[in-house]
């Protein structure tokens, strides 16, 4: 009895579609991971499912959600606002009306 392992090689188009599924599911650089290996595990899951015959982007996205839940994005940091008026920072007088040109 022999067991044959068939390996399906991924083309550039296949990898692009898998990358798009990851991106659409929120697996991008601005994700907040509770476990550091989550992104790699998600990518490996997609490759394994694809090689096993699941080629529908919707089904692959559903499997990501089923295995890992919804991706959490990192909240954007508010822009830093100086407590000082720009004239105080630049060393300019707050009123320029008294200056003769």
Q: How far is CA 84 from the centre of its chain?
A: 35
**For residue range 46-87, what is the model confidence (pLDDT) as tens digits?**
999 999 999 999 999 999 999 888 766 555 555 566 666 666
**For residue range 15-37, what is the model confidence (pLDDT) as tens digits?**
999 999 988 888 776 555 555 56
pLDDT value for 41: 86
pTM summary value: 0.59
- Kindly write down the DSSP assignment for every residue of 26-70, as one continuous string: T-STTB--SSTTHHHHHHHHHHHHHHTT---HHHHHHHHHHHH-S
pLDDT value for 18: 94
């Amino acid at each position: 009895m022999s067991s044959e392992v068939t390996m399906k090689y991924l083309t550039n188009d296949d990898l692009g579609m898998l990358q798009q599924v990851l991106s659409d599911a929120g697996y991008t650089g601005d994700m907040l991971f509770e476990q550091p290996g989550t992104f790699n595990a998600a990518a490996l899951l997609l490759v394994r499912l694809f090689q096993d015959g699941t080629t529908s982007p919707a089904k692959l996205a559903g499997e990501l959600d089923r295995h890992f839940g919804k991706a959490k994005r990192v909240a954007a940091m508010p822009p830093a606002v100086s407590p000082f008026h720009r004239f105080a920072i630049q060393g300019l007088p707050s009123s320029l009306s008294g200056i003769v040109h």
